[in-house]
Amino acid sequence: MPADGFATYPSLRDRTVVITGGGSGIGARVVEEFVLQGSKVAFLDIAREAAQKLVSDVSARGAHPPVFFPCDLTNIAELRRVLREIETRLGAVRVLVNNAGNDDRHRFSEITPEYWDERMAVNLRHQFFATQAVVPGMSAAGGGSVINMGSISWMIPLPGMVAYTTAKAAIGAMTRTVARELGTANIRVNCVAPGAIATERQKRLWLTPEYSAQIIARQCLKRELMPADVARLILFLAADDSSAITGQTYVVDGGSV
């Protein structure tokens, strides 16, 4: 069951949920929260060790243990194959969380065409093709919810990551257009744009005490933001409680933009 004081969504019970990049960070917390809701969770990642540990840690906490599928999301043929396998094993996907991405920093002057294309493949392209792959089953099952992971990085905007911010801005535009495309099938498409979330990776690479203090100073809410803050919004957007909401972007940043 969810932690005391937080919502339970009956509509998510036994519903097939797919999360990309679910092995660590925000994605891992999203996996955990859906497991606690009683969903049938499948998640994709390339980090096998972290993913297998997550499965071990949360399997006993819900009605259905999560299932890990190794997958390189930049390989669209492989992504499509894995999604077909998930549908065969768990049933039609009713919730897709396009979470996977990588915010490595890069110098403007050093970006090559090859690096640019690789960043689009890592951060943008798979979100569209994963959605395209699950739509037939989702539509036949009566509809569902697609949640795309954006970022506030392009809204600020942050320097030193122009390929990443470009991809994340495009996700917002894709969300609005695809929501129009799929609305008649009762498929909702929304975007979640996190701010500075204190994942282990962020703390290891960038969130020094000094930088964290600067971030909190810009926020209306004077506290560190955690993966659970993002995951609980995703639960709401996945559940039938948000059945009239589509084509929107929701910012989770403590009020910094």
Give the SS3 label for residue 95: strand
* 9 flagged as catalytic: no
Distances (CA, A) of 18 to 106, 188, 245: 30, 15, 20
Q: Is the pLDDT of residue 202 over 90?
A: no
pLDDT interval class at 5 (50, 70, 90): confident
Give 94-145 pLDDT, tens digit per residue: 999 999 999 988 999 999 999 999 999 999 999 999 999 999 999 999 999 9
> Measured between alpha carbons, how far is 256 from 17 in angstroms, rounded to an integer?
31
For the domain spanning 10-252, the CATH number is 3.40.50.720
Which H/E stretch holds residue 19? strand 16-20
Burial class (CB in 10 A: 0-12, 13-18, 19+), 26: buried
139-172 pLDDT, tens per residue?
Answer: 999 999 999 999 999 999 889 999 999 999 999 9
Cβ atoms < 10 Å from Cβ of 113: 7
Instruction: List strand residue ranges (DSSP E) for 115-174, in order.
Output: 144-149
Phi-psi category of residue 14: left, alpha or beta, with phi > 0 → left and psi -120 to 50 → alpha:
left
Name the residue ranges covered by the structural domains of the chain: 10-252
pLDDT value of residue 3: 62
Of the residues 9, 115, 164, 211, which is catalytic?
164
Pair 221, 174: CB distance under 8 Å: no
One-letter identity of residue 106 = H
The two three-digit tokens of residue 234, written as one number: 């995703």
